[in-house]
Amino acid sequence: MAPSMALMRSRRTLTLAAIGTAAGLYSGLFGVGGGTVMVPLLTLWLGYGERVATGTSLAAIIPIAAVAALVHGGYGNVHLEEGLLVGVPAVGGVLAGIWLQQRISTRAISLGFAALLVVVAGDLLLG
> For each of the chain's 127 residues, which pLDDT tens digit applies?
677 888 888 999 999 999 999 998 988 888 786 788 999 999 999 999 999 999 999 999 899 889 989 999 999 999 999 999 999 999 999 999 999 999 999 999 999 989 998 998 999 899 8
| DSSP designation for 39 | H
- Nearest by Cα to 58 from 91, 81, 28: 91
Q: Please report how many Cα atoms fall inside a 13 Å half-sphere around the Cα of residue 27, on the Cβ side.
A: 24
pTM above 0.95, yes or no: no
